[in-house]
Structure 1
Amino acid sequence: MSEPRETKNIDRYGDPEMPWSRAEQALSAPPAKENTYFLGTCRADGTPHSAGIGPQWLDGLLYFTSNPTTRKSRDLAVNPRCTISARLPGIDLVLDGSAERMTDAGTLERLAQGYRDGGWPAQVEGDALTAPYSAPSAGPPPWQVFRFTFHQVVGVATEEPYGATRWRF
Structure 2
Amino acid sequence: MSDKREVWLRGPVPEIPQLLQPVAHALLQAAEEVESAIASFNTIYLWDKPYGMASVGFHLQHLSGVLDRLFTYARGESLSTLQLKALQQEGTAPTPSATATELVTAFHEQVQRALKQLQETDEKRLTEHRAVGRQQLSSTVLGLLFHAAEHTQRHVGQLLVTVKVAGNQQA
> Would you say same fold, with TM above 0.5?
no
Q: Which structure dedicates a bigger proportion of its chain to helix?
A: 2
Band the TM-score falls in, shorter-chain normalisation:
under 0.3
With normalisation by structure 1, the TM-score equals: 0.22
Q: Which structure dedicates a bigger proportion of its chain to strand?
A: 1
With normalisation by structure 2, the TM-score equals: 0.22
